[in-house]
Amino acid sequence: MADRPETPSTSGPEAKAEAPHVPVLLRPLLAAVAPVTGTWIDGTFGAGGYARGLLEAGADRVIGIDQDPLALQMAESWAPAWGDRLQIVQENFANMDAVAETHAPEGLAGIVLDLGVSSMQLDLAERGFSFLRDGPLDMRMSQSGPSAADLVNEMEEGPLADTLYLYGEERASRRIARAIVRAREEEPITTTLRLAELIERTLPRTKPGQSHAATRSFQALRIAVNDEYGALAEGLMAAERALPPGGALAVVTFHSIEDRMVKRFFQLRTGHSGNVNRYAPVQEAEAAAFTQKTKKGIGPDDDELAVNPRSRSARLRVGFRTSAPAEDVDRAAMGMPGAAKPGGKGGRRR
């Protein structure tokens, strides 16, 4: 598994913060949904790279959605130049069908999602996403609700270990959870570097070339704080409700669990509902809500890898809406970690 990688920059974090945001897989995405016309939702607006790409490719209008107020603030300097063609809404993309109803009554041509954290968020120490920069242990994209510090200082050891394991695939989750509980008994853990150093001390030394010891735990906490898998499951279903026949849904993921959820969603909703999860109830074959030109995930080509090695783990999956009615999809069948299995409890066996 790999997440949007956090690499110490050789020229210092300040230089990285000033580096232009490079939208990942934008070219293959635009090619996959061409011709681009009509109204689009960019459900993960971030620095606006996808929204601008869609507008430049011929979209009449783009409704950008981001739950982070910072994304809207950052766009204030350039978005007005697009006039009525670009509107930005602070919202969770789980609610994008309601956003579409209000802001795009003319109907949508497509929806794009580029999941995860933005480099803008990672680079700002005060947002608490980075294990390389000291800041408050925050990690809240929406800047509201419980923070990572709340989770780390308040969760019981067992559920904390489960979170690290299920959301970060951290095999040393129990050891790390135990170390966290011991450390917080002495003093609450409130900063990113205190947590990162604690994890580094708990895990055997990582070899050169391996990711930082805290990578998986930080990813797990970020996913839990922002309920990223819950939002993804809800967002995919909201997209199915919002799109008219022919509408495109293009999703870019950055790690294997997200990609598995998107892949299974499309498998289930293109009529391949059998046997994707042995715990899932056997679902009646429903009329396909999406078609796909290719079931394979699309990755970066050599040119993109050469200019943006960070794109290495990115995968794009695209589907086109049919006229079949929208249906809810079982979260466990979608492969959502920790989703309740029928007849059993969610989470791993202890």
Ligand X SMILES: C[S@@+](CC[C@H](N)C(=O)[O-])C[C@H]1O[C@@H](n2cnc3c(N)ncnc32)[C@H](O)[C@@H]1O
Binding residues for S-adenosyl-L-methionine, as ranges, are: 48-50, 66, 93, 114, 121
- Judged by beta carbon, residue 43 or residue 319, the one nearer ligand X is 43
Say whether the peptide bond before residue 35 is cis (omega within 30 degrees of 0): yes
Site map (CB under 6 A) of ligand X, residues 7-26, x = contact: --------------x-x---
Binders of ligand X in range 60-79 (CB under 6 A): 65-68, 71
Residue in 3, 30, 33, 46 binding ligand X, rule: CB under 6 A: 46
Residue in 28, 48, 319, 338 binding ligand X, rule: CB under 6 A: 48
User: Each residue of 31-48: b (16+ CB within 10 Å) or e?
Assistant: ebbeebebbbbbbbbbbb
State which residue has the least CB distance to ligand X.
Answer: 49
Query: Could you say whether residue 93 binds ligand X (CB under 6 A)?
Result: yes
Site map (CB under 6 A) of ligand X, residues 107-146, x = contact: -------x-x-x----------------------x-----
Instruction: Name the amino acid, one letter, at 273.
Output: S
Tell me how far, at minimum, the Cβ of 223 lies from ligand X, in Å: 10
Tell me how far, at minimum, the Cβ of 274 lies from ligand X, in Å: 29
Site map (CB under 6 A) of ligand X, residues 241-280, x = contact: ----------------------------------------
Q: Segment contacting ligand X (CB under 6 A): 88-96, 186-194, 287-295, 299-307? A: 88-96
Residue in 28, 40, 44, 111 binding ligand X, rule: CB under 6 A: 44
236/233 Cα distance (integer angstroms): 5
List Cα–Cα distances, 1 to 169, 197, 259, 350, in angstroms.
8, 22, 10, 23
Query: Could you say whether residue 87 binds ligand X (CB under 6 A)?
Result: no
- Judged by beta carbon, residue 61 or residue 161, the one nearer ligand X is 61
Q: Which two tokens stand for residue 136?
A: 């408050």
Count of C-beta atoms within a 10 Å radius of residue 136: 15
Tell me how far, at minimum, the Cβ of 59 lies from ligand X, in Å: 14
Closest CA to 4 of 141, 162, 163, 96: 141
Q: Segment contacting ligand X (CB under 6 A): 46-54, 144-152, 188-196, 242-250? A: 46-54
Query: Could you say whether residue 153 binds ligand X (CB under 6 A)?
Result: no
- Judged by beta carbon, residue 112 or residue 196, the one nearer ligand X is 112
- Judged by beta carbon, residue 65 or residue 137, the one nearer ligand X is 65
- Judged by beta carbon, residue 49 or residue 110, the one nearer ligand X is 49
* Residues near ligand X (CB under 6 A): 21, 23, 44, 46-50, 65-68, 71, 92-94, 114, 116, 118, 141, 231
